[in-house]
Amino acid sequence: MKIDIRKVSKAFGYFPALDAVDVTVPSGELVALLGPSGSGKTTLLRVIAGLETPETGHVIFGETDVTDHPVRTRNVGFVFQHYALFQHMTVAQNIAFGLRVRKASRAETAERVAELVSLMQLDGLERRLPSELSGGQRQRVALARALAPNPKVLLLDEPFGALDARVRQDLRRWLRRLHNDIHVTTVFVTHDQEEAFEVADRVVILNNGRVEQSGAPDDIFDHPANAFVMDFVGNVNVLDGMIDHRGSHFCGLTFKDTYKADIPVVAKAYIRSGDIEYCRSHDDSQSTKGIITYARRVGPVVRTLFSPKDSSDAASMEVELSLDDWRSKNLKVGAEVNAKVKRVRIFPERGEYDNISF
């Protein structure tokens, strides 16, 4: 079932949570709504479910305008961040709830419950109460309960937000596999960009109640539409500087063969922490001398801070490199090195320039 959201606006008091949002979720796809807190992503999800009423705009499921349909007739499966399981019911009773509401026969209900229990790997837990389950198991019960009445649309609100990193990782992959199996149109909300990029077919990036960009994960990562998306997606160094007739200048870095302006323009350079490379020799203008001020190994990568020498202010840049790289180049904290920028994105005060690779 395709979901069309057309010009939906919603305000809480004077706070505009959604501002003329247009989103299309193609049938059978898994779409992530990604954004910082307060960006309106949860409100949008609740509008799709019918738990919030938009002030203007339309929500269309397939060909049907469901804007005025109440929640219970929309046939959506909704998974809440804090599970919202019925505490006094067992796992099996929780899963069966939606079926009993629909007056399914006992045999039918039992069959569907058994099917979901095995699909969600909850075997042997049917008679437990929610309070007797772990966080990951509770979330799977919530998912089973939402899926039991065969919803047209599955909506998940920060489904893995309350779980620890390891369980989150497992459930994430498992959700992806599950979606490959059952193909129900799914929208999930997250503030974790890694989660969105790992799981979703399409990512919609929201900020201040507006859609900043939507598209395939690779597309968003490689071609961010604007400074916000660039900053939000991935670890980015933002450097203040300017563009003049010789090129653009940022904290001791000069990019000669890029953009030139007859009248100097204030600009910001966005450089991902993985797009900077350390080298021993000073080869061209895209590199700058400086000192490694901090280094911390996190698993297979080393996160470092680099302080450019020529920089007038005490700006430092985050640089991330592989452990192998770190070792083979014999780097250490306090070492004087050159940092070479491999890729930069420059956003002048007004307008913008596209990706520049070197």
What is the contact surface with another protein in residues (CB under 8 A)?
A: 49, 51, 70-78, 80, 82, 84-90, 92-93, 96-98, 101-102, 106-107, 109-111, 113-114, 126-127, 129, 142, 145-146, 149
The whole-angstrom separation of Cα 44 and Cα 284 is 48
Instruction: Write down the least CB distance from residue 80 to another protein, Å.
Output: 5
Instruction: Write down the least CB distance from residue 124 to another protein, Å.
Output: 12
Give the position of tokens 């339309």: 58
Q: CB-wise, 88 or 309, nearer to another protein?
A: 88
Residue 246 CB burial class (10 angstroms; 0-12, 13-18, ≥19): exposed
Tokens representing residue 333 in the block: 């904290």
Chain centre to alpha carbon of residue 324: 29
- The enclosing H or E element of 161 equals none
The whole-angstrom separation of Cα 264 and Cα 242 is 7
- The enclosing H or E element of 146 equals helix 135-147
Q: CB-wise, 101 or 182, nearer to another protein?
A: 101
Q: CB-wise, 48 or 204, nearer to another protein?
A: 48
Instruction: Write down the least CB distance from residue 284 to another protein, Å.
Output: 57
Q: CB-wise, 146 or 337, nearer to another protein?
A: 146
Of 267, 273, 275, 245, the C-alpha closest to 352 is 267
The whole-angstrom separation of Cα 11 and Cα 180 is 36
Q: CB-wise, 147 or 271, nearer to another protein?
A: 147
Q: CB-wise, 158 or 275, nearer to another protein?
A: 158
Instruction: Write down the least CB distance from residue 147 to another protein, Å.
Output: 11
Instruction: Write down the least CB distance from residue 158 to another protein, Å.
Output: 12
Any bridge partners for residue 302, and if so which? 297, 321
- In sequence order, the 6+-apart residues with CB closer than 8 A to the CB of 150 are none
Instruction: Write down the least CB distance from residue 100 to another protein, Å.
Output: 9
- The enclosing H or E element of 205 equals strand 202-207
Instruction: Write down the least CB distance from residue 22 to another protein, Å.
Output: 24
Instruction: Write down the least CB distance from residue 127 to another protein, Å.
Output: 5
Q: CB-wise, 73 or 281, nearer to another protein?
A: 73
| Residues 277/339, Cβ–Cβ less than 8 Å | yes
Q: CB-wise, 9 or 90, nearer to another protein?
A: 90
Residue 123 CB burial class (10 angstroms; 0-12, 13-18, ≥19): exposed
Any bridge partners for residue 270, and if so which? 238, 345
Q: CB-wise, 92 or 339, nearer to another protein?
A: 92
Any bridge partners for residue 42, and if so which? none
Q: CB-wise, 108 or 324, nearer to another protein?
A: 108
Radius of gyration of the chain (CA): 25
Instruction: Write down the least CB distance from residue 51 to another protein, Å.
Output: 6
Instruction: Write down the least CB distance from residue 110 to another protein, Å.
Output: 4
| Residues 59/8, Cβ–Cβ less than 8 Å | yes
Alpha carbon dihedral 188, 191, 196, 197, in 10-degree steps, equals 170
Q: What are phi and psi of 326, to 5 degrees?
A: -55, -45
